[in-house]
Structure 1
């Protein structure tokens, strides 16, 4: 079979462009600039480049809201601005429509018959997986519908927000929940409750806390308990479970209502599977699973047969579909941490592969935190791409390191991550050019370019910074690259492939003939 001339999209996840540049690199902990990245530096000198917006209104989020991996990949693949669940749900709350939602009304009717409404989710204003104001709105509506027992199982953040912001978030939420007779009964860090890499030993700790009340028993406010943990050098992401109220009682019982209020699916699935997998769940020993009415704020998996408050809006004719209809072969590749992003999210929220779409998943390393292995599984990802690329017209490749290591707040490790990726970009680029192909190098959002706050504390969250768009090809001298938004990436790739974009794509090709 003849070798193809591939078009390759390299997504350097979490590699943004800090406007301070070299001037503020050390102060900001700008790992991507502090690292030794000779190949990246050469690319910027030799090839046409532009800047792309990956946050706020440009990706369908509220103005000023940082982007994230789910949002980024949705926009990258859709070729249009995709209005996000955060925005949809906020609007529904603001205009009062959420109070009329039939799924919620049914759930609350079940909960007020002597049962408990359990609200599970991430409590912060990060806006990546959830938002605390949406939790408060749900508690308010539940109370208005006659629900008397409203228990909140609060997952602390420390990753999309400050590592020690949880106590303040919980204090605010406690005051608001008290207005509606709701209370926080569990606190646990997202490291345990929101794992997405099948580290079931972590999920079991969260399950035992939420379902059975196993954890440090506290008789003070949740916010006070978390503040005490900071004095022991514990941070929000890694908090072991603490329980509050009715220490002698099993938390979740038959007939109760469980409502997950995360709007992002990927990190809410493992606990959901422990509740929902039938006839038998094998991830860990659950004990007797309570028979509950289970509800999710958005669709976590199309195979879950549960009520969904906000059903997905179908995205038609995204990049993968257009390429498939053109009779082209495509590969998607990432390590475990970002595999859903180059498949499910990039395909507009559809799990099933397109015709001619092959998927390659490389297991992420089993380490506690990725600063311990900042190269992650990038070498294996590189090897797979170089080995398989010749058989495809299009390759969508994600390097997870800058984002996943950036979240640790360890600058030296993030520098190593960027250096690893620089070698990966070199290897993939050289193979692509050898095959006569073309590349577009970008990111889904910023992260590793700012890892230190103004007060010197670690910055572990995403940023609102722009990201690169670099065009690499033999004919590079014939083109310039315009500035744009993530929705422009899919039309640009189709332009590179000489395939017509779909009518639904409102993005524009960034390539302009010079």
Structure 2
């Protein structure tokens, strides 16, 4: 597929800058200045931007915001159409473009946008400035709601890089917590790239998790370790090894806390990354997600083993571990395979 000649590409940027999600406004500013003010390195074509980046060993994520051709920046009366599906990665740049009261960085120039729309809804804050072509669907009886409706307590934990994943996304696109849902957010380290600190904030997150488990206040604790994904994106194998070692140590401590509390621990992921740090075709660094099968590990749970399944089966599995019925809206099934003792076997 190709763009019509009347639709040129004006700027190119890696998501490190244009799609930051941790309020690192100095990065977003570079993308904003390129888009609005046509400020940044200039190239004859979008292809030339990528070729130049690769020649300097800069992968897609870290491409410095660049201006293409004779693009002169945005003008009053321009419109904005955002076709990104994921909400968390476009919120900051859209707020900078659309919110007159934005103060994350100094906008040397702003424009009067004639209209703005997204393919979906990105946040309640952005709803005030843009419409949605496909409004978000309301999801009934997601995991958190079922737990809350049963009168159980739950805790969501992550560092800031992954905070939306255990809150907004896990709650079906809803920002507000359920009744009995607490949240702990640990700031991610302020480094240029996470290979410089592959431990990230996992040690502090682990400390808080062990404390929460030991307190007995929660029936369900959901925790996200960002390290294998975020450090995997850097392409640094030594850093990825350190990241995995850090998470392994943290999981060991959490497993001990779960065992002391008489609970069950389920460990899984929704995609791969750091298990492939070298591109099998080029031999260079591999910095993207993979579609490899992910492990599902169970500690505790009584006389049960796990069967193979899919991501949709995780919530039903957790509900069975908690002794709660699975709602009809959940299309997955529990992965637990109960092992029953037979009286006729010695």
* 3-state SS in 1 of match to 2:294: strand
C-alpha separation between the residues in 2 aligned to 1:253 and 1:189? 23
C-alpha separation between the residues in 1 aligned to 2:5 and 2:46? 17
Give the drift of 1:180. 5.0
Query: Which of 222, 230, 236 matches 2:46?
Result: 222
User: Hey, what does 2:34 align to over in structure 1?
Assistant: 209
Q: Identify unmatched segments of 5+ residues in structure 1.
A: 1-172
- 8 A contact 2:32–2:97 mirrored in 1: no
Aligned residues: 333
C-alpha separation between the residues in 1 aligned to 2:255 and 2:112? 53
Query: Which of 314, 319, 325 matches 2:149?
Result: 325
User: Hey, what does 1:298 align to over in structure 2?
Assistant: 120
C-alpha separation between the residues in 2 aligned to 1:183 and 1:313? 33
User: Hey, what does 2:103 align to over in structure 1?
Assistant: 282
Matched, 1:265 2:87: yes
- Post-superposition CA distance 1:294-353 (Å, at most 9, x none): 211221113322111221122110010000000001000000111100001111111110
Residues 316 and 462 (structure 1), Cα distance of their counterparts in 2 relative to 1, 3 Å cut: same
Using the size of structure 1 for normalisation, the TM-score is 0.63
User: Hey, what does 2:77 align to over in structure 1?
Assistant: 255
Give the drift of 1:287. 2.7
Q: Identify unmatched segments of 5+ residues in structure 2.
A: 340-346
User: Hey, what does 1:351 align to over in structure 2?
Assistant: 175
Query: Which of 172, 176, 197 matches 1:373?
Result: 197
* 3-state SS in 2 of match to 1:440: strand
Query: Which of 435, 438, 463 matches 2:264?
Result: 438
C-alpha separation between the residues in 2 aligned to 1:245 and 1:187? 11
More helix by share: 1
Residues 468 and 233 (structure 1), Cα distance of their counterparts in 2 relative to 1, 3 Å cut: closer
Q: Over the residues paired in the alignment, what is the CA RMSD in angstroms?
A: 1.5
C-alpha separation between the residues in 2 aligned to 1:288 and 1:453? 41
Give the drift of 1:474. 6.6
User: Hey, what does 1:503 align to over in structure 2?
Assistant: 328
* 3-state SS in 2 of match to 1:480: strand
C-alpha separation between the residues in 1 aligned to 2:51 and 2:198? 30
* 3-state SS in 2 of match to 1:267: coil
* 3-state SS in 2 of match to 1:343: helix
C-alpha separation between the residues in 2 aligned to 1:381 and 1:406? 19
Residues 422 and 233 (structure 1), Cα distance of their counterparts in 2 relative to 1, 3 Å cut: closer
* 3-state SS in 2 of match to 1:467: coil
More strand by share: 1
Using the size of structure 2 for normalisation, the TM-score is 0.92
- 8 A contact 1:433–1:474 mirrored in 2: no
- Post-superposition CA distance 1:391-410 (Å, at most 9, x none): 10100011111111111111
Query: Which of 136, 139, 142 matches 1:315?
Result: 139
C-alpha separation between the residues in 2 aligned to 1:486 and 1:352? 24
Give the drift of 1:281. 1.2
Higher relative contact order (CA 8 A, sep 6+): 1
User: Hey, what does 1:426 align to over in structure 2?
Assistant: 252
- Post-superposition CA distance 1:79-118 (Å, at most 9, x none): xxxxxxxxxxxxxxxxxxxxxxxxxxxxxxxxxxxxxxxx
C-alpha separation between the residues in 1 aligned to 2:70 and 2:283? 40
